[in-house]
Structure formats: C-alpha cells, structure tokens
C-alpha cells in the first residue's frame, strides 16, 4: 500500500474539483444513482447486497469508492451496468446518465448504452483480453455493433486514436496480449472503455496486481482520458493512498450501504463516520512509524446483519440506540452525507 501523510496532495487534478464538487449545486449531475437496491436470494437466505444507495456525480468529477471486501462496491458497479446475475436481483432504484434511466431501458437499449453512455472496466480486466486475437480486433469487436453504418477503416481509426489517447503506440493495434506488459494491457482496457466517449466510467480496482510505478501511470492515464472526454469516473479500490491523490470525493461503503460521502480533503483530514475514521486511521503514515491500527472485529455477513446500525458491534462510539435504530443518510450543513446517529442533530 502506498504510504501517505495525513492529508492528500493538492497538486493532482483529483483535488481540483474537491471544493466545487459540493459547492456547484447548480450543476446538473451527469450521473444520479437513486435508491438502488440489490438482493441475492441464496439457499441460506436473502442477502441485501445494496441497500438504498444514492449519490450523484458531475461531469469531470472523480469519486473513489472504498470499503472492506464484501461491502458492496463491485455489486454497485454491476447493478449500475445492469449486469447482476441470478440469484441476484435489482429490486429498486434508478441510475440516470444524463436524462436516461438505465433501469428503464430495454435489454437492447442497455446493450447500446454500455460503452456509449457508461463503461465498466472490471476487476482483472487486463487478464480477460483474448490471448489469440490481436488487440486491434478486440477493440473493433467491442464497438462495431454500436456503429453499423461506420466503415471498417473508420472504426479502426477510432481504435488507434483511443490507443494513442492512453499513451500506447499505434503498433499495439496489431499485437497480441502476451506481447504487452501488465500496465499496457490495463491501458488497452481503458482504451476500450473510452472508445465511444461515455459520460460515466467505472473502473473496478484498475491498479491491482500492478507495481507502484505502473499503478501511478495507469491512474495518470485515467486522469488524462477523463479530461479529454469530461467523463464522470468512479474508482473502486482499497488503496486509500492512490485515492488521496487522484479522486475529488470519496464514498465509504459498509454492509451494502453508503455510510459517508465527503470531499477527499474532508475525508482524509476529518472523517465523520466512525467506520471512515477507522479506515483512515488504519492507514500507514509517516507519524505512526509502522504501528498499524486495524479495525476491530470482522465485516458482518450480509445474511445476518446486526440490528440497527450494522457497524455497531465494531463501533467505539456506539450508543444504546445504535443497536436498535438504523441511522438514515443525512446531509450535513457542509454538504457531506453521513449515516450515523452521532450526526443526526447536526444534520
């Protein structure tokens, strides 16, 4: 994990919109996720993997989505793409990209919306490149059904342009995946994601399994292509150090709920939710000299969530009402959103 100091850097574009993210209330968000709910129906019972998740994102904004494994981050991405498979089911909610509610599209409409309105770079995407097909053919395949009237040469031109946008030489078009390094393969996946200039890009752990130098290069690539197409970007990940440098705001998920949404600076300097505080204080930094402070207890099973606030068995600030009453997400005066009884009055 990247070592960080207690505050995120302001030199990266990740922080350039950090204040504007909440101040610009007159800007119509390009992405609105409203009350999204996903349940998995298993033999052992019902697991609510996403519970009433709502947030917005403006064009050009980058949001980091963090939380322990199983907190619902990837489920959220899959639900937004309408790629939840049985026994999972999207129970409720809307995902609006511009004026289009993805949840109300036909299957064909949604197929066309993928890549053109919203793109998803899944976890381990670089390992899913076809080893026996040239990179160029894979790029062309990804979009040719979106552009039935376009000539092959014009589609190829678009693909080469996308490769150049992610700093890859056009010769990569004719290469095979095994001829590329991990970082180059990940950039190919980013190139596929931007082929049709979507308004929203979701990247799930885009830097996992890469060395730290390549991680940085990949993040800088995402940053640059985002600037080019002014997309809203959601970065799912565990590395808070990278998040600190590259995102504008941070959402923290716990047991299928969004428990805090704050600007990156607020999150790293003054996290509100006790779980967010625990996440931040568990990071290595230059002050704690290698003494790691973990989060006590384990993430709960979604099949047997604790009553009230799902975090209460692990929370050092828990009060009697926490075990019986679920805290709703409230918006504080500063615009931050927190689901915790500690802030009910402040809200």
Chain residues binding ligand SF4 by CB under 6 A are 273-274, 309, 311-312, 315, 317-319, 322, 327, 340-342
Nearer to ligand SF4, 110 or 318 (CB): 318
Report the alpha-carbon distance of residue 80 to residue 77 in Å, rounded: 5
**Structure-token pair, residue 201:** 């890009």
Nearer to ligand SF4, 126 or 258 (CB): 258
Nearer to ligand SF4, 78 or 259 (CB): 259
- Block residue for tokens 């919109």: 17
**Structure-token pair, residue 280:** 């931040």
Sign of the C-alpha dihedral computed for residues 230, 74, 18 and 216 taken in this order:
negative
Whether cis (ω within 30° of 0) applies to the bond prior to 87 is: yes
Quote the Cα angle for 113-119-121, to 5°: 150
Strand pairing category for 257-263 and 200-204 = unpaired
| Shortest Å distance, C-beta 343 to ligand SF4 | 8
| Shortest Å distance, C-beta 238 to ligand SF4 | 21
Task: Find out whether 332 and 338 touch, Cβ atoms under 8 Å.
Answer: yes
Task: Name the residue among 265, 335, 319 with its Cα closest to residue 10.
Answer: 265
Task: Find out whether 314 and 57 touch, Cβ atoms under 8 Å.
Answer: no
Report the alpha-carbon distance of residue 347 to residue 334 in Å, rounded: 9
Task: Find out whether 327 and 315 touch, Cβ atoms under 8 Å.
Answer: no
Nearer to ligand SF4, 71 or 226 (CB): 71
| Shortest Å distance, C-beta 269 to ligand SF4 | 19
Task: Name the residue among 192, 33, 50 with its Cα closest to residue 122.
Answer: 192
Nearer to ligand SF4, 62 or 341 (CB): 341
| Shortest Å distance, C-beta 176 to ligand SF4 | 50
Nearer to ligand SF4, 246 or 254 (CB): 254
| Shortest Å distance, C-beta 295 to ligand SF4 | 12
Task: Find out whether 140 and 154 touch, Cβ atoms under 8 Å.
Answer: no
Nearer to ligand SF4, 285 or 344 (CB): 344
- Block residue for tokens 């039935």: 148
| Shortest Å distance, C-beta 271 to ligand SF4 | 11
Task: Name the residue among 187, 203, 82 with its Cα closest to residue 129.
Answer: 187
| Shortest Å distance, C-beta 69 to ligand SF4 | 20
Nearer to ligand SF4, 104 or 317 (CB): 317
| Shortest Å distance, C-beta 327 to ligand SF4 | 4
Nearer to ligand SF4, 185 or 272 (CB): 272
Task: Find out whether 302 and 45 touch, Cβ atoms under 8 Å.
Answer: no
**Structure-token pair, residue 166:** 């992610």
| Shortest Å distance, C-beta 268 to ligand SF4 | 19
């Amino acid at each position: 994990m990247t070592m960080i100091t207690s505050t995120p850097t302001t030199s990266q574009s990740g922080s350039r919109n950090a204040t504007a993210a909440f101040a610009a209330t007159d800007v119509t968000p390009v992405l609105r996720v409203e009350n999204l709910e996903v349940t998995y129906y298993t033999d052992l019972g019902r697991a609510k993997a996403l519970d009433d998740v709502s947030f917005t994102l403006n064009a050009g904004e980058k949001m980091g989505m963090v939380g322990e494994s199983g907190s619902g981050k990837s489920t959220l991405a899959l639900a937004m793409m309408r790629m939840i498979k049985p026994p999972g089911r999207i129970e409720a909610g809307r995902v609006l990209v511009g004026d289009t509610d993805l949840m109300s599209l036909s299957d064909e409409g949604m197929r066309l919306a993928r890549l053109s309105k919203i793109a998803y770079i899944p976890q381990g995407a670089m390992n899913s490149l076809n080893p026996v097909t040239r990179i160029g053919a894979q790029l062309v395949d990804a979009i040719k059904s979106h552009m039935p009237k376009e000539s092959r040469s014009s589609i190829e031109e678009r693909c080469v342009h996308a490769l150049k946008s992610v700093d890859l030489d056009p010769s990569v078009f004719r290469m095979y995946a095994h001829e590329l390094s991990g970082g180059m393969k990940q950039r190919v996946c980013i190139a596929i994601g931007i082929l049709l200039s979507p308004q929203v890009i979701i990247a799930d752990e885009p830097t996992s399994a890469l060395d730290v130098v390549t991680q940085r290069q990949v993040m800088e690539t995402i940053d640059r292509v985002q600037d080019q197409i002014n997309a809203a970007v959601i970065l799912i990940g565990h590395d808070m150090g990278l998040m600190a440098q590259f995102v504008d705001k941070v959402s923290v998920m716990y047991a299928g709920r969004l428990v805090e949404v704050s600007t990156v600076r607020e999150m790293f300097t003054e996290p509100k939710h006790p779980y967010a505080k625990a996440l931040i204080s568990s990071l290595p930094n230059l002050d704690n000299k290698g003494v790691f402070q973990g989060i006590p207890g384990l993430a709960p099973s979604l099949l047997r969530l604790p009553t009230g606030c799902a975090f209460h068995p692990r929370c050092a600030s828990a009060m009697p009402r926490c075990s019986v009453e679920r805290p709703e997400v409230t918006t504080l005066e500063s615009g931050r959103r927190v689901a915790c009884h500690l802030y009910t009055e402040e809200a």
